[in-house]
Amino acid sequence: MMNVVARRGLLPRWGLALLLAGSLTPLQAAASVPLSDEALALARTLQAAQMGVDRAGNLWTRDSQSGAIRLYSPKGAELARSRVSGALSVDVDHEWGVAAVVSHGFELRLMPPGDKPEVSIQLGERADGVAWIDPQTVAVSQALAAHRVEIWNTQQRKILRKLGTETALQPEPGVTILRTVGLEYDPRRNLLYTLGSYKGDLQVFSLDGQTVRQEQLPLPDRTELETFFAEQGRQKKARNEIFTPSIRWFRQAVDDNGTVWSVQQCDPQRGKAVFLKVPLQGKMEVIETEERCCSKSLVLWGGWLLLYSDPASPRASCSSVRRLP
């Protein structure tokens, strides 16, 4: 839980953000808001474990070490701050606050703005990703269950719907790679985008549970990584130990047209990147570009593509701001 002293110091600033950013009705979002020169300059300096854009076009960032969350307007002004420790994933909205998966995936924590109390929901299944749907509804992706996503009513504290069919995972001695599914909700189309970060399986759902788009992203050569896990599996099994890593390879960003963008591979040394472009309808495109600063983490802000890295990563590099290729 957040420190009370810190909470008193931070959340009033979040309340100020509501006045600065304005408000939108649930399930409504504007098209990309153009960025000022100050916002573009700011974007080139940002590094984070996770970034996203809320319904009003504000960029939020989360630092993995301190847990600090910051919200920036399209004009480059810092609107709000908050903090959540030990989060696997968060989603932020200027009006609804912070939704976070914490406690190693077994707790959904909601941190509304102002002086409203936090909400803690214990999850029966181990979770991974999270996304706001509306003020009372949150999507949570699953790490082990036989379904992909749960839609929760946070007021009634109950599951409204389960989306997607998966093979249930049961960790046992050896290596069990947890299912890491990134979530992004598109309020313009009422669609939930889900991307398996390790397997690259993209599934887009309507809120009534229908599959709107399904695509398998082409996997890169991961021989070295697979060899490592095979050896770890032998060692852990021999010692009767369980190893459950979470691998975050593919990330997604959804543009104004509902098209998914992801980075299949990047090679900073050669200055090359391979982008995957998946429209809601039609064929996927593979686009290779020159990229001086390359990262698999990406976000779309005001029509600009930000490639960013986690400063806590041993391979942390620069951040890049560019137009879509």
- What is residue 130's predicted lDDT score, i.e. its pLDDT? 98
Q: Counting runs of H as helices and runs of E as strands, what totals does the chain give?
A: 3, 25
Is residue 295 in some structural domain?
yes
Q: What pLDDT score does 292 carry?
A: 81
Residue 273 lies in a domain: yes
Under DSSP, the state recorded for 53 is E
Confidence of residue 8 (pLDDT cuts 50, 70, 90): very low
Whether residue 310 lies inside any domain: the answer is: yes
Q: Which two tokens stand for residue 278?
A: 């998946």
- Judge whether residue 22 has pLDDT over 70: no
Report d(CA 116, CA 3) in Å as an integer.
15
Q: Is residue 163 part of a domain?
A: no
Would 221 be classed as within a structural domain?
no
Nearest in space to 309 (alpha carbons), one of 128, 115, 49, 78: 49
The answer to whether residue 52 sits within a structural domain is no
Model confidence at 319: pLDDT above 70: yes
Q: What is the mean pLDDT of residues 162-170?
A: 96
What's the whole-number average pLDDT of the chain? 89
Structural domain of residue 321, as residue ranges? 251-325
Q: How many domains is the chain built from?
A: 1
Dihedrals phi, psi of 19, to nearest 5 degrees: -70, -35
CB 144 within 8 A of CB 170: yes
Quick check: is 185 in a domain? Answer: no
110-116 contacts, C-beta under 8 A, 24 or more apart: 110/138, 110/154, 111/2, 111/82, 111/84, 113/11, 113/14, 113/15, 113/17, 113/18, 113/80, 114/11, 114/12, 114/14, 114/15, 115/11
* 279 domain-assigned: yes
Which pTM does this prediction carry?
0.89
The H or E element containing residue 245 is none
